[in-house]
Structure 1
Amino acid sequence: MKTPCSATTPRSTDMNKLILLTLSLLAGTALSAQKTIDRIVGQVGDKIILQSEVESIYYQEASNGEVADDLRCYILQELVTQKLLLIQAEKDSVVVTDEQVEYELERRLRYYESLFGSRDKMEEFYGKTFQEMKEEFREDIRNILLSDQMKSNIAGDMTVSPSEVKDFFNNIPKDSLPYFDAEVEVAQLTIKPKPTAEQKAYAKQKAEEIHQRLVDGDSFDLLASLYSEDPGSKEDGGSLGCQTRGTFVPEFEAAAFKLQPDEISNVVATQFGYHIIKMDSRQGDKVCLRHILITPPVTNTNVTIATKKLDSIRTQIMAGNISFRDAAAKFSDDEYSKLVGGDMTNPQTGSSLFAIDEMDPELYYAIEKLKPGEVSAIVQFTDYDGSRGLRIVQLKSQSAPHVANLEDDYYRLQAAALNNKQQEALNEWVDQKIKSVYLRVDPIYDGCENMQELIRASYDLGRK
Structure 2
Amino acid sequence: MPLYMLLRYLFVFFVFVTNYHFCAAQQVIDKIVAKVDNQIVLKSEVEISYLQFMRSPEAQMMQTTDDIKCRVLESLIINKMLLARAVMDSVTVEREIINQQIDRRMDYFIQQFGTVAKLESYYNKSIDQLKEELYPQIRDQMVTQKMQDNITAGVTITPNDVKKFYKALPADSLPYFSSEVEVGQIIRLPEINRQDQLKFKQKLEEIRQRVASGEDFCRLAKQFSQDPVSAKNCGEIGFFKKGELVPEYEAAASKLQPGQTSGVIETQYGYHIVQLIERRGAEYNTRHILIKPASSSKDLIYPTLFLDSLRLEILKDSISFAKAAKNYSSDKQTAFNGGMLSDPESGSSRIAQEDLPPAIFFVIDTMKIGEISMPAKFTMEDGTEAVRIVYFKNKIPAHQANLKDDYQKIYSAALEEKKNNAVNEWFDKTKSQVYIDIDDEYKQCEIMIIQK
TM range (shorter): 0.7 to 0.9
Structure 2 match to 1:297: 294
Deviates most, 340-349 or 117-126: 117-126
Aligned counterparts, 1:86-165, within 5 A: 105=104, 113=111, 123=119, 146=146, 150=150, 153-161=153-161, 163-165=163-165
Query: What residue identity is the alignment partner of 1:224?
Result: A
Q: Does 1:317 align with 2:309?
A: no
Q: Does 1:447 align with 2:443?
A: yes
What TM-score do you get using the length of structure 2 for normalisation? 0.76
Cα distance 1:78–1:409, how it changes in 2: closer, same or farther (>3 A)?
A: same
CA–CA distance in structure 2, aligned partners of residues 165 and 16 of structure 1: 17
CA–CA distance in structure 2, aligned partners of residues 182 and 158 of structure 1: 28
CA–CA distance in structure 1, aligned partners of residues 48 and 55 of structure 2: 11
Q: Does 1:32 align with 2:24?
A: yes
Q: Does 1:16 align with 2:11?
A: no
Query: What residue identity is the alignment partner of 1:245?
Result: K
Q: Deviations over 1:51-96 (max 9, x none)?
A: 47666534544677988331442331441475489789987x999x
Checking the alignment, whether the CA contact within 8 Å between 1:82 and 1:147 is kept in structure 2 is yes
Structure 2 match to 1:461: none
CA–CA distance in structure 1, aligned partners of residues 226 and 367 of structure 2: 36
CA–CA distance in structure 2, aligned partners of residues 329 and 131 of structure 1: 39
Unaligned runs of 5+ in 1: 1-8, 457-464
Structure 1 match to 2:167: 167
Q: Deviations over 1:393-420 (max 9, x none)?
A: 2122212223335565455334433433
Deviates most, 421-430 or 147-156: 147-156
Cα distance 1:49–1:196, how it changes in 2: closer, same or farther (>3 A)?
A: farther
Structure 2 match to 1:231: 228
Query: What residue identity is the alignment partner of 1:154?
Result: G
Which of 189, 211, 216 is equivalent to 1:214?
A: 211
CA–CA distance in structure 1, aligned partners of residues 130 and 368 of structure 2: 38
CA–CA distance in structure 2, aligned partners of residues 133 and 378 of structure 1: 42
Structure 2 match to 1:335: 332
Query: What residue identity is the alignment partner of 2:449?
Result: E
Shift of 1:50: 6.4
Task: Give secondary structure in 2 for the equivalent of 1:277.
Answer: strand
Q: Does 1:403 align with 2:400?
A: yes
Cα distance 1:33–1:309, how it changes in 2: closer, same or farther (>3 A)?
A: same
Cα distance 1:384–1:147, how it changes in 2: closer, same or farther (>3 A)?
A: farther
Which of 188, 193, 200 is equivalent to 1:191?
A: 188
Checking the alignment, whether the CA contact within 8 Å between 1:224 and 1:292 is kept in structure 2 is yes
CA–CA distance in structure 1, aligned partners of residues 129 and 217 of structure 2: 18
Structure 1 match to 2:199: 202
Cα distance 1:70–1:449, how it changes in 2: closer, same or farther (>3 A)?
A: closer
Cα distance 1:19–1:410, how it changes in 2: closer, same or farther (>3 A)?
A: closer
CA–CA distance in structure 1, aligned partners of residues 21 and 407 of structure 2: 38
Cα distance 1:444–1:243, how it changes in 2: closer, same or farther (>3 A)?
A: farther
Structure 1 match to 2:239: 243
Structure 2 match to 1:460: none
Cα distance 1:354–1:69, how it changes in 2: closer, same or farther (>3 A)?
A: same
Shift of 1:206: 1.4
Cα distance 1:413–1:157, how it changes in 2: closer, same or farther (>3 A)?
A: closer
CA–CA distance in structure 2, aligned partners of residues 424 and 418 of structure 1: 10
Query: What residue identity is the alignment partner of 1:153?
Result: A
Q: Deviations over 1:143-189 (max 9, x none)?
A: 587568546623135443464144233x25x1x33222221121222
RMSD across aligned C-alpha pairs, in angstroms? 4.7
CA–CA distance in structure 2, aligned partners of residues 430 and 279 of structure 1: 47
What TM-score do you get using the length of structure 1 for normalisation? 0.74
- State the identity %: 29
CA–CA distance in structure 2, aligned partners of residues 386 and 455 of structure 1: 55
Shift of 1:317: 0.7
CA–CA distance in structure 1, aligned partners of residues 85 and 196 of structure 2: 51
Shift of 1:335: 1.6
CA–CA distance in structure 1, aligned partners of residues 231 and 354 of structure 2: 34
Structure 1 match to 2:62: none
Cα distance 1:30–1:334, how it changes in 2: closer, same or farther (>3 A)?
A: same
Q: Does 1:269 align with 2:261?
A: no
Shift of 1:389: 2.3
CA–CA distance in structure 1, aligned partners of residues 127 and 327 of structure 2: 31
Aligned counterparts, 1:278-289, within 5 A: 278-279=275-276, 289=286
Q: Deviations over 1:180-239 (max 9, x none)?
A: 222112122222223343344333221110011122333333322321111222244324
Q: Deviations over 1:266-291 (max 9, x none)?
A: 43433322222345567787655432
CA–CA distance in structure 2, aligned partners of residues 348 and 125 of structure 1: 31
Cα distance 1:56–1:117, how it changes in 2: closer, same or farther (>3 A)?
A: closer
Task: Give secondary structure in 2 for the equivalent of 1:160.
Answer: helix
Query: What residue identity is the alignment partner of 1:75?
Result: S
CA–CA distance in structure 1, aligned partners of residues 330 and 110 of structure 2: 22
Shift of 1:441: 3.6
Task: Give secondary structure in 1 for the equivalent of 2:3.
Answer: coil
Cα distance 1:407–1:294, how it changes in 2: closer, same or farther (>3 A)?
A: closer
Query: What residue identity is the alignment partner of 1:205?
Result: Q
Checking the alignment, whether the CA contact within 8 Å between 2:70 and 2:446 is kept in structure 1 is no
